[in-house]
Structure formats: C-alpha cells, structure tokens
Amino acid sequence: MCVSPAHGEAFETEVPVAIIGGGACGLTAALTLRDAGIAALILEQDAAPAGSTTLSSGFIPACNTRWQRARDVQDDVALMAGDIQAKAKQLADPAIVDLCCQMSGPTLEWLAERHAIPFVLVEGFLYTGQRRARMHAMPERTGAALMARLLAAAEAAEVDILCGAEVVELFADGDGRISGVGYTRPDGSAERVGCQALVLACNGFGGNAEMVRRHIPEISSADYFGHAGNRGHAIRWGEALGVEIRHLGAYQGHASVAVPHGILITWAVMREGGIQVNSEGERFADESRGYSEHAVDVLRQPGGEVWNIYDGRIHTLALDFEDYRQAEAAGAVKQAEREAALAVALGLPEAALSATLSEVRSTARDPFGRDFSGIPALAPPYYAVKVGAALFHTQGGLAIDTSARVLRQGGGRLPNLFAGGGAACGVSGPEVWGYSSGNGLLTAVMLGRVAGESAAALVS
Ligand SMILES: Cc1cc2nc3c(=O)[nH]c(=O)nc-3n(C[C@H](O)[C@H](O)[C@H](O)COP(=O)(O)OP(=O)(O)OC[C@H]3O[C@@H](n4cnc5c(N)ncnc54)[C@H](O)[C@@H]3O)c2cc1C
C-alpha cells in the first residue's frame, strides 16, 4: 500500500480514466464516463463486484424526483439539505451537502431513463430527521437488487471491469499528478495501468480493525457489517499524497441487528413506536434520535445486547422489509399475548418490563425526552427481537471540492485525482450522531456521478 514516484515510466496499458472500486460509486462514475464516450476501467479486488452496496438496504435519498411528484410529495433541495445539516449539527461541508442534494433528483432519473434502473419511492414511514418521503430503492428494497441493476447497466454500456485486481500502489509526480496504478492479481503477479485521471471509489476503513480502533474506538467492539475489503486504502494513499482528510470520527452505526442471526431489523420499528429495553427490562435512551448514535448506547448495555419491543401493527409494517421477513423465518421474532408472557419469553424481570411499558403508554414526559404523542400506544400482542449494535460504514475521508476533485492540505487541489462514496469525506459531520439515513449511498451515487463528469471533462 504505497504511493511511488512517477519517473515518466511507460505503462503496459493506458486508459483515459481508472476507477478503483466497483461499488455504487465506481459504477456510477463509469456509467457517466461511458455516456460521455470515454473509456473507463474499473479495478475491483474481488472476484465479482459487490462491496458494501450489495450488503446495504439500497435506500437512496433524493428530492424533486418524478417518483415523489407522482405521489404528491413536495420536496426540494433546501428542505433536503436542511434535514441533512440539522442531523449533522450544521457541521457537514455545506457545498458538498448542496451538491449532493442538487444532483440527487437528476441523477436517479438519469439512471432510470438512460440505464433502466427501476426506482420506487419508499413510503409508509419517515426516517429520523427526514421531513419528506425521499428514500428511493429497488422494488425488492435490497442493496443486492440495486447492485445487480447497476452491474447489468454497466454490462450493457460496455464498461470495462477488471476483477481480481487489488490496487496496492499509485504512481504520482511531485505535484501529485497520478500517472497510473499498480495492482496484484489472485496468482500473486503484479500489473500496472497508466491513466490520465483516477477516481477513488474504494470506500472507507470499516474493514480495517486497527484504523477503527484508532479513529472510532467507541464502536470498535461492535461487529462490522460492511464489506470486509474496505480497508482504508483511499485514506492511506491520501495521507501519502498530502491530502486534506476530514471527519475520521464519523460513521454509520446501527443499533438494531438481530442476535445471533446478524440480520438488520429496520429502524422503522422504532420510528413507529417500538422501544428498546436492556436485560433489566429498562429503556436506556431516546430511540427516536436515530439508529446510528443509538448503537453506542446499545453497546454500553449489559452484554451489549438489548430487546426491540413493539406490537402487531408495527410487525405488519416491518414485514414490508425483506430483511425482517428473513429474520422472522430465522426465528428471531418472538411473540407474546400479554406482558407477563413477554417477560418470560425474553427472560426479563416482569415487574420492570411492565413498569417500562406502562411508562411508555402514559402521557407523562418521557425521561429520555422522546415524544410519543401522535404514535399509537403499544398494544398486545407484543413482538420482540434481541438485537446488538454494529458498525456499517465509515463516513470520514478525503476532502473534495464540488467537482469531486481531491483537496490538498493547506489549500489547492490535486491535478487529476477524484473521490466519491466512502472514500471521500461524507455529509455527516465529525461524529456518529451526524449520520442521516441514506448519507452513504447519497454520496456514493451523487459523487460518483460528479467524479465521472469531472474526469470526463478533464480528459476530453
Ligand atoms: C448493512 C448495511 C446497510 C446499509 N444500508 C444503506 C442504505 O439503505 N442506504 C445508504 O445510503 N447506505 C446504506 N449503507 C451504506 C452503503 O452501503 C455505503 O455507504 C455505500 O455502499 C458505499 O458505496 P461505495 O461505492 O463507496 O463502496 P462499496 O460499495 O463498498 O464499493 C467499494 C469497492 O471497492 C473495492 N475495493 C476496496 N479497496 C480496493 C482496492 N485497493 N483495489 C480494488 N478494489 C478495492 C471493494 O472490494 C468494493 O467492491 C448500508 C451499509 C450496510 C453495511
């Protein structure tokens, strides 16, 4: 893993634009370049591109879309940017937030119209801090379905993807101009390719335990649910190139992964009135804040495990989600007709659980500050899933400008290096509480689009 000096050496092969990583960011950048008539080569370390994109739910926030208009959802860039910044306590780069929001509608419509990606609007509930229904997903509501569609589009557009190519080396001159990359093949051989521009689409450092311990120790004891191959290459290259690196303490945690099944239980369960209790039958934080910051509170509970408790209405809503159906089929979802039976089924102290449920049902002020007004009170039969916390992906990374061009420490930008998705600094501010649902794929797809456009302009 290094940056080596470029001494004007010739590369065996040359491409106009090389892209490291074949997830949502890399594929969107490559499709953009192909539409501009420019050949791009994706270098992907795995035998088949998957990335965290495949593991995700595939929900992408976007405003001003035709899917929103069809459902009379009034949304715009100012509202969307305001929601993202409110969650990030105004600490995300406003220019990048605005850019992603402005790009969001046109980019999803371009993917649908030009590349046959069939988005639908996710309706029925709102994620924390989102004032409008703006999550767009595949009809299957899975990242695997999104990735399959992106790969099919890439194949139709004749994007070159070289799999089994782990990039380990960048070649750069003294000004930081990238002239090519070196990569290893599964048989251990080393190859190189020259490029006029390089896009870093190789995500963050969630798969690098040492970097997680160093930058985000508070979540280091949680399981990592993202792609294991995302080991912080972009950040380490950025450090070697003297790039400005921001917000390494930011990440997407999740407070609701079924134990021991490892299946995501949608946070819609909490948004609709569900609660979390620890092994003492007690709540411990305001579940309505967001699943990311709540993950840290879950980790602090005895054993790092808690119970999601909700009712039949919420169970029915959750059945819309493929993950939840899988969790139910795997036996993760418990059901009980009465509070006493629920306490027995979950192994919780009956008096404490009963007191917790009564408190939630009462109109008294919630000790954690959650507002239950406007949400139907939990009613039997009850449902429950044992869950733990997880790290999904990191949000800090290389600072970029509004053309996705990587910035130097102390000002200025590198001549031909671009970054997007988890490789770039995201729009979540410096810490876990700033993650707004969808910030991951928002920056992967929109910054992939911007990086593709900018790289195309540079090499044309
Ligand atoms: C369980 C889960 C659910 C999620 N749900 C959502 C959601 O619904 N909405 C949302 O917005 N976000 C979600 N996220 C976050 C989202 O998945 C990521 O933010 C997004 O996929 C990042 O896209 P990417 O293209 O940057 O990275 P990836 O999709 O991870 O792609 C990066 C690629 O780079 C490759 N790579 C890495 N290093 C190298 C190298 N040196 N050489 C060659 N290849 C390399 C990797 O193999 C990988 O294929 C979720 C994450 C998880 C884990």
Judge if 67 and 173 occupy the same domain. yes
Which atom of ligand 1 lies at the shortest distance from residue 202's CA? 34
Judge if 239 and 289 occupy the same domain. no
Domain boundary among 340, 371, 391: 391
Contacts of 356 (CB under 8 A, 6+ apart): 275, 277, 281, 282, 283
3-state class (DSSP) for residue 215? helix
The string of DSSP letters for 162-204 reads EES-EEEEEEE-TT--EEEEEEE-TTS-EEEEEEEEEEE----
Whether 179 has a pLDDT exceeding 70, the answer reads: yes
Best CA proximity match to 45, nearest among 229, 180, 233, 238: 229
Judge if 293 and 355 occupy the same domain. yes
What amino acid occupies position 414? L
Q: Using the mean position of ligand 1's atoms as its centre, give its distance from the Cα of residue 204 in Å.
A: 8
Judge if 263 and 317 occupy the same domain. yes
The neighbouring-strand residues paired with 198 are 18, 417
Mean residue pLDDT of the chain comes to: 96
Cα(354)–Cα(307) distance, integer angstroms: 14
Contacts of 401 (CB under 8 A, 6+ apart): 95, 407, 413
Domain boundary among 346, 376, 391: 391
Length of the chain: 460
Best CA proximity match to 46, nearest among 231, 221, 241, 274: 231
Ligand 1 neighbours, Cβ below 6 Å, are: 20-26, 43-46, 49-53, 55-60, 166-167, 201-203, 225-227, 229-230, 233, 252, 264, 392-393, 421-422, 438, 440-442, 444
CA angle (54, 58, 61) in 5-degree steps: 145
Across residues 11-33, what is the average pLDDT?
Answer: 97
Tens of pLDDT along 367-376?
899 988 888 9
Burial of 405 from C-beta contacts in 10 A (0-12 / 13-18 / 19+): buried
Whether 83 has a pLDDT exceeding 90, the answer reads: yes
Probe target for ligand 1 pocket from 170, 200, 393, with the most ligand atoms within 8 Å of CB: 393
Best CA proximity match to 231, nearest among 202, 254, 253: 202
Q: Using the mean position of ligand 1's atoms as its centre, give its distance from the Cα of residue 206 in Å.
A: 10
How much is the pLDDT for 285?
96
Tens of pLDDT along 313-370?
999 999 999 899 999 999 999 999 999 999 999 999 999 999 999 999 886 668 899 9
Whether 86 has a pLDDT exceeding 90, the answer reads: yes
How much is the pLDDT for 363?
62
Judge if 26 and 36 occupy the same domain. yes
Domain hosting residue 261, numbered range: 251-391
Which atom of ligand 1 lies at the shortest distance from residue 227's CA? 30
Judge if 188 and 309 occupy the same domain. no
3-state class (DSSP) for residue 17? strand
Residue identifier of the C-alpha nearest atom 26 of ligand 1: 421
Name the pairing type of β-strands 190-200 and 178-184. Answer: antiparallel
Cα(263)–Cα(261) distance, integer angstroms: 6
Q: Which of 71-75, 104-108, 214-218, 286-290 has the lowest mean pLDDT?
A: 286-290
Q: What is the number of domains present in the chain?
A: 2
How much is the pLDDT for 374?
85
SS3 assignment for 335-403: EECCHHHHHHHHCCCHHHHHHHHHHHHCCCCCCCCCCCCCCCCCCCCEEEEEEEEEEEEECCEECECCC
Judge if 166 and 309 occupy the same domain. no
Across residues 68-85, what is the average pLDDT?
Answer: 98
Tens of pLDDT along 93-132?
999 999 999 999 999 999 999 999 999 999 988 888 899 9
How much is the pLDDT for 12?
84
Structure tokens at 129: 């801090």
Cα(126)–Cα(319) distance, integer angstroms: 16
Which atom of ligand 1 lies at the shortest distance from residue 230's CA? 37
Q: Give residue 72's region: left, alpha or beta (phi > 0; psi -120 to 50).
A: left
How much is the pLDDT for 144?
97
How much is the pLDDT for 125?
80
Q: Using the mean position of ligand 1's atoms as its centre, give its distance from the Cα of residue 227 in Å.
A: 6
How much is the pLDDT for 364?
61
Judge if 410 and 364 occupy the same domain. no
Residue identifier of the C-alpha nearest atom 38 of ligand 1: 202
Q: Using the mean position of ligand 1's atoms as its centre, give its distance from the Cα of residue 59 in Å.
A: 13
Residue identifier of the C-alpha nearest atom 10 of ligand 1: 438
**Number of other residues whose CB lies within 10 A of the CB of residue 144:** 17
Judge if 86 and 125 occupy the same domain. yes
Write the CATH number for 127. Answer: 3.50.50.60
Judge if 413 and 439 occupy the same domain. yes
The neighbouring-strand residues paired with 178 are 172
Write the CATH number for 259. Answer: 3.90.700.10
Across residues 261-283, what is the average pLDDT?
Answer: 95
Best CA proximity match to 298, nearest among 355, 257, 351: 257
Cα(402)–Cα(286) distance, integer angstroms: 36
How much is the pLDDT for 362?
82
Structure tokens at 393: 């992906």
Which residue is it, tokens 């090389």? 18
Best CA proximity match to 140, nearest among 288, 18, 321, 2: 321
Tens of pLDDT along 279-324?
999 999 999 888 999 999 999 999 999 999 999 999 999 999 989 9
Whether 188 has a pLDDT exceeding 90, the answer reads: yes
Residue identifier of the C-alpha nearest atom 33 of ligand 1: 21
What amino acid occupies position 223? D
Which residue is it, tokens 């004891």? 221
Identify the band that residue 433 occupies on the pLDDT scale cut at 50, 70 and 90: very high
Judge if 208 and 99 occupy the same domain. yes
Structure tokens at 122: 């996710």
Whether 161 has a pLDDT exceeding 70, the answer reads: yes
Best CA proximity match to 227, nearest among 199, 189, 201: 201
Q: Where are the beta strands (DSSP E) in 13-106?
A: 13-20, 40-44, 60-61
Residue identifier of the C-alpha nearest atom 21 of ligand 1: 53
Cα(312)–Cα(333) distance, integer angstroms: 12
Best CA proximity match to 24, nearest among 150, 145, 116: 150
Cα(39)–Cα(455) distance, integer angstroms: 11
Identify the band that residue 186 occupies on the pLDDT scale cut at 50, 70 and 90: very high
Domain boundary among 336, 369, 391: 391
Which atom of ligand 1 lies at the shortest distance from residue 441's CA? 11
Judge if 425 and 377 occupy the same domain. no
Q: Using the mean position of ligand 1's atoms as its centre, give its distance from the Cα of residue 420 in Å.
A: 11
Which residue is it, tokens 């969650």? 87
Tens of pLDDT along 244-254?
999 999 999 99
Q: Using the mean position of ligand 1's atoms as its centre, give its distance from the Cα of residue 393 in Å.
A: 8
Across residues 129-147, what is the average pLDDT?
Answer: 95
Cα(204)–Cα(2) distance, integer angstroms: 16
